[in-house]
Amino acid sequence: MFNILVVEDDKNTGKLMETVLSANGFHPILASDGIEALKILDIQHVDLIILDIMMPRMDGYELTQQLRNSNYTLPILMVTAKQLPVDKKKGFIVGTDDYMTKPIDDEEMILRIKALLRRAKIVNEHKIIIGEVTLDYDSLSVSRKDKRHTLPQKEFYLLYKLLSYPNKIFTRIQLMDEIWGIDSDSTDYTVNVHINRLRKRFEDYPEFEIQTIRGLGYKAVKKI
């Protein structure tokens, strides 16, 4: 199931999108503005963003530009009441992948979402490929040449999260909240144990490494 982040300050519109997305097999996550969206992206894997433009604190243009400047490559679909060509032009300039004007047709929105995910090679693959290494989200496996590792669920999700955002630093608390859940009784020591297991398992892989950032947390670095 693919996580779709809906960034919309109108509660009724957000709930409607949530219903439509759920009915079509997606997992919607709601945020009321750009600031809240950034906090969610820090702790949760997102496959695609649907966002409004006119929002308090941080609007859709600013959020899109900030994400692109931070090397987020996930697809972005702007859904807005702003219909002028200059508004659309600005949306594409800052980095959106597609643009719809309200009122939206639910079926068209779903078709556009699926097209964006296909373009991002997510729908059919749901994979991360780094050189000769392939992480397959659906099978929890890491393959390189003729070797294939099927990882424990938490271990795989941890590696997938880090490699989804190379060079981005994640704190232990952020990783705990997303992988183990906010209500988990586990401690941040659990993250350390899983990181050490991943390092040992893939120590001979030249494609990537997991680095400890003292006093902050961890990041994955692609080496090719």
Separation of CA 153 from chain center: 18
Q: Show which of 119, 152, 168 is a domain's final residue.
A: 119
pLDDT at 182: 65
What domain range includes position 158? 127-222
Question: Given pLDDT bands bounded at 50, 70 and 90, which one contains residue 61?
Answer: very high
Distances (CA, A) of 145 to 98, 131, 133: 36, 10, 8
Which of 20-29, 92-101, 166-175, 193-202 shows the lowest per-residue confidence on average (mean pLDDT)? 166-175
Starting from the edge strand earliest in sequence, which strands make up the sheet with 133-136, in order? 127-130, 133-136, 141-144, 147-150
Which of 57-66, 77-86, 127-136 shows the lowest per-residue confidence on average (mean pLDDT)? 77-86
Question: Given pLDDT bands bounded at 50, 70 and 90, which one contains residue 103?
Answer: confident
> Do the Cβ atoms of 4 and 47 come closer than 8 Å?
yes
E strand or H helix at 11: helix 11-23
Return the closest-CA partner of residue 60 out of 88, 85, 84. Answer: 88
pLDDT tens profile 139-158: 999 999 889 999 999 999 99
What value does the mean pLDDT of the chain take?
Answer: 89
> Do the Cβ atoms of 8 and 52 come closer than 8 Å?
yes
Q: What is the pTM assigned to this prediction? A: 0.59
The alpha-helical segments, DSSP class H, found in 24-152 are 34-43, 60-69, 85-94, 106-119
Residues in the chain: 224
pLDDT at 81: 84
* Residue 159, domain CATH: 1.10.10.10
Instruction: Say whether pLDDT at 136 is over 80.
Output: yes
Q: Show which of 76, 100, 119 is a domain's final residue.
A: 119
Instruction: Say whether pLDDT at 109 is over 90.
Output: yes
- Token pair belonging to 5: 């982040």
Total domains, the chain: 2
Instruction: Say whether pLDDT at 123 is over 60.
Output: no
Angle at CA of residue 121, ends 118 and 126, nearest 5°? 110
Per DSSP, 217 falls in state E
- Same domain as 110, residue 8: yes
